[in-house]
Amino acid sequence: MRLKLLASGPHTFTTAGLLCTVLLSGCAATPANPDDPWEGWNRSVHSFNEDLDHYIMKPIAKGYDYVTPEPVNQGVTNFFSNIDDIGVILNDIFQLKLAQAGKDTGRFFLNTTLGLGGFFDVASEVDLPKNIEDFDQTLGYWGVPTGPYLVLPFIGPGSPRGVVGLVGDALMDPLTYTMFAGAAVSAASTAANAIEGVDKRAGLLSSEKILDEAAVDRYEFIKTAYFQRREYLVRDGVMSPDDHDDLFDDLDGYFDDEDTSHHLQLDSPADK
């Protein structure tokens, strides 16, 4: 459940400064909640992001979804997913997943060539499914702790490790470097980043009913879901039955309808 806006391009590099501000403010006062030391900041930014999404991002995403034919919509999603596979391959290597790196490399070249730049996902048809590997997962793989919950403006749920992960992902994203390639290319890159953001938000429209049915405290629900999903991805879905049940037990209490939580899904390693 990816319940956040993904940063790319120049926006990502402002994250470090925001994090420093939060860290300094966190050191200035005794936290009221040791498990969520930046809760005051987090809830304020959470409300800001919710309003931003409600009044701007969601209407734009609905309009995009309405006017874009499904084949084109899926093609745009596939295109950006193909670019993302470059970072996936690098993180495969950083995590010493060399066999997976080879498959993801094959997937990238197949989709880039036969898939016309990634617009068509032909690799999935020949048993080369999409994997999710990002720099946050790489840091977790090598034992870097996630740190406290941290909500950032425009970006959404995260953590100090996640912030470093976003910067690392931006450095692996080819679109990041197009901003230095002249005004025309930079404008095209900015437009591409905007389209990618809208496309990702449109992709969440069909699944946000889960959030609408979450009882009372959306902030706590999103925080729990964020940490549970990150842990699941870092561990590549390799969990004992008890650990798997715990993931859903932690979320059950947020629903009025006891059957709703059973419809929650965490991405499996094969289709992450």
Q: Please determine, for residue 219, whether its predicted confidence score (pLDDT) is greater than 80.
A: yes
pLDDT at 185: 55
pLDDT at 207: 66
pLDDT tens-digit map of 72-122: 989 999 999 999 999 999 999 999 999 999 999 999 999 999 999 999 999
Contacts of 203 (CB under 8 A, 6+ apart): 77
Lowest-confidence region among 9-18, 42-51, 170-179? 9-18
pLDDT at 231: 93
Contact 226, 3 (CB under 8 A): yes
C-alpha span between 101 and 97 (Å, rounded): 6
Q: In this prediction, what percent of the chain has a pLDDT beyond 70?
A: 67
CA angle (156 as vertex; 86, 67 as ends), nearest 5:
70
C-alpha span between 227 and 160 (Å, rounded): 12
pLDDT, averaged across the chain: 78
C-alpha span between 95 and 139 (Å, rounded): 9
pLDDT at 216: 65
Closest alpha carbon to 270 in 83, 104, 145, 55: 104
